[in-house]
Amino acid sequence: MKLDQNTILGLAEHLEQAELQARDVTKITDDHPDMDWDDAYAIQDEIRRRKEARGSRTAGLKCGLTSFAKMKQMGVATPVFGFISDYMARPDGGEIKLAELIHPKVEAEICIVTKAPLRGPGCHVAAVMVATELVLPAVEVIDSRYRDFKFDLKSVIADNTSSARFVIGGRPRELDELDLRTLGVVLEINGEIRAMAAGAAVLGHPLAAVAMLANHLGARGQEIPAGTFVMTGGVTEAIAVKAGDSVAVRFQDLGTVSMRFV
């Protein structure tokens, strides 16, 4: 690690305040060009510790930048990992207030709930299949705290991978009823199709993202506990939304997830 503990604590407070006040900031690597990946995840861990200390519960784990479309959109080649908190959840069909956000974008995500712990190294798609209780559709609303979404990967990891809001759909299915690679997803805004993809857009199989998360955590002496909600990453590029937009994402076999931005 390159940053001392005080700097990590200060950067976590800086980024979390930007999130809570819906205020954009410049990317932190501008002032800390030497920070490394461990520093970035340590800042994210401190943001999680701050939220939990205030009574927020961690609602799940997320994989980001796992699809070719998203990697291309952001000009990166490596997935990232973060968490979502209970206060970020919004109901299916409900409203999301733009005043609480900076410049949100929506992403369609195939998600799972685990029934057994998953721990790397060596975690693979088959191990994730055995540990999958349910498959669920969700829409993630990302909202980078960085001005104009201008950042690098270390800055994004420290900013909890742009986590802001999420909406989970109401039709869970068991894994053996589905082929996650060919599962089609259509993202509509105000009735217009804006993006579509199949599950294989996420690393060839969405559960490969979960295996990657388990291996990432395993390298840090952690695991994905049983009963964890895991978002595998946007299947398409993220789409910016504005006031009045109605978003509906149609997931083959998993139903539709919708929300309106007000």
Side-chain half-sphere CA neighbours of 60 within 13 A? 24
Told to check if 206 binds ligand 0L1 by CB under 6 A, we report: no
* Full DSSP string of 177-215: G--TTT-EEEEEETTEEEEEEEGGGBTTSHHHHHHHHHH
Indicate the residue whose CB is closest to ligand 0L1: 64
Alpha-carbon gap, residue 242 to 105, rounded angstroms: 9
Query: Strand 80-85 and strand 132-142: pairing?
Result: unpaired
The nearer residue to ligand 0L1, 145 or 250, going by C-beta atoms, is: 145
Assign residue 115 a region (left: φ > 0; alpha: ψ between -120 and 50; beta: otherwise): alpha
The answer to the question of residue 60 lying near ligand 0L1 (CB under 6 A) is no
Task: Name the CA dihedral angle for 101, 47, 87, 144, rounded to a multiple of 10 degrees.
Answer: 20
Residue of the chain from 29, 85, 155, 161 that contacts ligand 0L1 (CB under 6 A): 161
- From 16, 39, 46, 107, residue interacting with Mg ion (rule: CB under 5 A): 107
Contact letters for ligand 0L1, residues 1-20 (x by CB under 6 A): --------------------
**Cβ(244)–Cβ(194) below 8 Å:** no
DSSP 226: T
The interface partner of residue 232, options being Mg ion, ligand 0L1, none and the CB cut-off 5 to 8 Å by kind, is: none
Query: What radius of gyration do the chain's Cα atoms show?
Result: 17
Note whether 140 binds Mg ion by CB under 5 A. Answer: yes
Binding piece for Mg ion, criterion CB under 5 A, among 76-84, 98-106, 137-145, 179-187: 137-145
162 belongs to the binding site for ligand 0L1 (CB under 6 A): yes
Instruction: Pick between residue 88 and residue 127 the one whose CB is nearest to ligand 0L1.
Output: 88
Which of 60, 137, 199, 234 touches ligand 0L1 (CB under 6 A)? 234
Instruction: Give one word for 65, left, alpha or beta, with left for phi > 0 and alpha for psi -120 to 50.
Output: left
Q: Is residue 237 involved in binding Mg ion (CB under 5 A)?
A: no
Task: Give the Cα separation of 128 and 185 in Å (integer).
Answer: 22
Binds 29: which of Mg ion, ligand 0L1, none (CB < 5-8 Å by kind) = none
Closest CB to Mg ion among 132 and 160?
Answer: 160
Interface with ligand 0L1 (CB under 6 A): 62, 64-65, 70, 74, 107, 140, 142, 144, 156, 161-162, 233-234, 238
Interface with Mg ion (CB under 5 A): 64, 107, 140, 234
